[in-house]
Structure 1
Amino acid sequence: MLETIKKPFNYEGGAIRYAHEYPRRLRVCAVGAGRHPYFNTLPVLRFAPVDLVGISDLNEERAEAAARAFGATKAYTDHREMFAAERPEAVFIVTSYDKDGRSPGTQIALDAIAAGANVWMEKPTGVSVHEIEEIKAAADAAGKTVMTGLKKMFTPGVERVKEIISNGEFGTPASITVRYPQIIPPMEERGDLHAVYGLLDHIWHPMATILHLMGTVDKFTYEWEPKSQSSILLLRFASGAIGTLHFAAGISGSSPLERVEVVGQNANVVLENGVDLTYYRPSPGPDYGGASYLVPTESAALTWSPEFSHGALFNNGNFLLGYFNEINQFCHSVLAEEPVTKGTLDQCLEIIRIFEAIRTHPSGVFIDLKGDSVK
């Protein structure tokens, strides 16, 4: 055990520490003990450099059950009381939506910053550009880190796609296609946050993938189909690349939710269902009229798929889905007093601008996202 504890942190090499093995841990509190944090975020804290001293939830029984399950010292029903009593260095916020369709997490993040804590929060960071800018101003003034859990930037599959498209062999990424099932309600309903709840809750996932792989979106347009309420966004990136985001409402419940494909120069890479990855390396195609379908072995496609027989940590969906990587980045960034590079408030602003533009602009027009506001 002593030898294990002395090993340096090296997730990429396969070594994962338990929380108690870190020589320095953050004093943290968690706000929210519902199904999502219970399933996905609180379990990850077992592998992060944290000491969980408090959990709060409006439901006292739920807060106490989560505290027992995840080793928190005390349960609370008032997050402000918890912040004052426990004085955390960092706070993890996972909440649902209030009666107005807004996220209580936005105000809780401001309360945490005011209490002197760094913040990791689940999306949505806010429901508008104004709300996220308010958090950003507070964090900058207090010198605190605020990160949103844009988990799709952190999945092993997307990370490998990023690695592939960044190497010289792939060439400059020219286009991207992302599929994700999501309805967009009719234009006349979009002023109601309850009507756009699904879009607000889910747009972060495909857009996080797109921003991480392709960078800033300069402008976009979209077409909308009324029967299934599906849509296709046509994106133009600052790099000059193009892309589509297919909100594929109406797909079968038995179908994988996601598909990502990036095309470079005589190369492309496809990520299916978030885990099955195929890299079509630069290669000549079979000759027309030739006798074989086989391309040269040295340029044949490479494929990866998760293996579930061994007791590997990635058998836990919290690793495959990116939760560990995002929380790990946050904790180590705070400990090192370095800014996070993914899940930043600037990236959140890019996503919420697209959300706001869809709410306020009809289909068929180009929407310019450059500058400080949607035009």
Structure 2
Amino acid sequence: MKDLPYVDFGHTPYEAAFGRADVYGVNGTPERAAKRPLSIAIAGCGGVAQAKWVPAIRRLQTIGEPLAIAGVVDPDEARRQKTASLCAAPAFATLSELLAKTRVDIVLVLSSDSFHVPLAEQAIERGVSCLVEKPLARSYREASSLARLAEERGVLLAAVANKRFSPPYAQAKALIDAGALKDRPTIFTGKFTLGYPYVDLLEGGTVHLLDLLLWFMGPVARLSAQGTFQDDGRLESAVVSFGFVSGAIGTIMTSATGLSFAPWERVEIFGRNAFLVVDDQFELTLHDGEAAPARSWRPSVPNTLMFDESFGGYSGLLENVLDSLRGLATLGSNGCDGAAAIALIDAIRMSLERGAEIDLSIEGLMP
């Protein structure tokens, strides 16, 4: 390919740094300033809220996004007061109290997993849009029901899929869409590992890899899983084989026996005599010819013009959701997308329990 698509790799956009002499990209643009102002509420003030989403909101505000934090919600007083201080926003013990007292355009649901659906339902019933952290729900039945509720009420429901907006994966998708693999994707292989034991392997981690698999390859028709288990019965490791509706095939390996501060994630996607690799959500490499040089994309580290909120995909995802709410963009990850990833988790568990291949259509797991 002569002309390769370009994605900013989490740093100041090229046009801002070199076209407008705005080295940190903080001066905004007339186009951004003209957007409809929106207000956001944070429901759940734990680690992901404080470490990822509050900085993502602040990053967008810094570059001129017309966005205000209407309030924060958490049943734990210490957490909500700390987060309220970080956000310079009022704190509430319940979402119903916040919605009764404050005008909100969208609720960012960041609570513990079992409260994702109840909190999102509260907001949707009041006509308020939602962006829900992964997993969207604890089961496909709950997730699909939530997506139907949002559709019936005419309310935007977005599912967190920040890796879609992380530069290495966004660049990979742009290359594939531009024909860099010389054919549609034919094979997907993926690896996800972690070392800390307190996160559910499928819902808390592998769900990201499953979302990427669906994004790159399309819907899954069938899958088969094998696994090993810890002494307490929790899943320790699994290998899963997939057959896609398109006719493509794939496999993933996921394990809680790895190391969290060592290489932990890898995706390979093959087309026709061409393939690409994304290592650790950091470096993308394209191999597209026997005698051609490999081409790679990676950030320069250290780089004072690189922003974690952008590289992790959080600010890009949030901006997409806000612009979708304004009618300016197509939603990058909706409720049905979130439900599809949960359907794969349910199917993997079925396969492990039954020791058999699972046909998702027969089991009612096709969105």
Q: TM-score, with normalisation over the residues of structure 1?
A: 0.81
Inter-CA distance 201–310: structure 2 relative to 1 (3 Å threshold): closer
Residue 276 (structure 1) aligned with residue 276 (structure 2): no
- The residue correspondences of 1:324-363 to structure 2 (distance < 5 A) are 324-336=315-327, 339-340=330-331, 342-361=332-351, 362=353
Rounded to whole Å, the distance in 2 between the matches of 1:87 and 1:372 is 41
CA deviation after TM superposition for structure 1 residue 29, in Å: 1.2
CA deviation after TM superposition for structure 1 residue 278, in Å: 1.0
User: What CA deviation, in whole Å up to 9, does each residue of 1:120-148 have, x standing for no partner?
Assistant: 11112111122112212221122110101
Aligned partner of residue 222 in structure 2, secondary structure: strand
Structure 1 partner of 2:4: none
CA deviation after TM superposition for structure 1 residue 39, in Å: 0.4
- The residue correspondences of 1:208-357 to structure 2 (distance < 5 A) are 208-226=211-229, 229-281=236-288, 283-284=289-290, 295=291, 299-312=292-305, 315-336=306-327, 339-340=330-331, 342-357=332-347
Consecutive unaligned residues of structure 1, counting only runs of 5 or more, are 1-10, 98-102, 186-193, 285-294
One-letter amino acid of the counterpart of residue 276, structure 2: V
CA deviation after TM superposition for structure 1 residue 371, in Å: 6.1
Structure 2 partner of 1:33: 45
More deviation, 45-54/17-26: 17-26
Aligned partner of residue 355 in structure 1, secondary structure: helix
Structure 2 partner of 1:100: none
Q: Is the 8 A contact 1:91 1:120 kept in 2?
A: yes
CA deviation after TM superposition for structure 1 residue 256, in Å: 1.3
CA deviation after TM superposition for structure 1 residue 68, in Å: 2.1
One-letter amino acid of the counterpart of residue 201, structure 2: G
Percent sequence identity is 25
Match of 2:364 among 350, 368, 373: 373
Residue 86 (structure 1) aligned with residue 89 (structure 2): no
Consecutive unaligned residues of structure 2, counting only runs of 5 or more, are 1-11, 17-24
- The residue correspondences of 1:131-146 to structure 2 (distance < 5 A) are 131-146=142-157
Aligned partner of residue 104 in structure 1, secondary structure: helix
Aligned partner of residue 155 in structure 2, secondary structure: coil
Radius of gyration: which is bigger? Answer: 1
CA deviation after TM superposition for structure 1 residue 364, in Å: 4.3
CA deviation after TM superposition for structure 1 residue 198, in Å: 3.2
Q: Is the 8 A contact 1:30 1:54 kept in 2?
A: yes
| More RCO (CA 8 Å, sep 6+) | 2
Residue 66 (structure 1) aligned with residue 73 (structure 2): no
Q: Is the 8 A contact 2:194 2:264 kept in 1?
A: no
CA deviation after TM superposition for structure 1 residue 25, in Å: 1.4
User: What CA deviation, in whole Å up to 9, does each residue of 1:220-273 have, x standing for no partner?
Assistant: 112224579322111111111111111134224442110011111111111111
Rounded to whole Å, the distance in 1 between the matches of 2:15 and 2:130 is 27
Rounded to whole Å, the distance in 2 between the matches of 1:346 and 1:179 is 24
Q: Is the 8 A contact 2:172 2:276 kept in 1?
A: yes
Structure 1 partner of 2:8: none
CA deviation after TM superposition for structure 1 residue 181, in Å: 1.6
Q: Is the 8 A contact 1:223 1:363 kept in 2?
A: no
CA deviation after TM superposition for structure 1 residue 352, in Å: 1.3
Aligned partner of residue 340 in structure 2, secondary structure: helix
Structure 2 partner of 1:110: 121
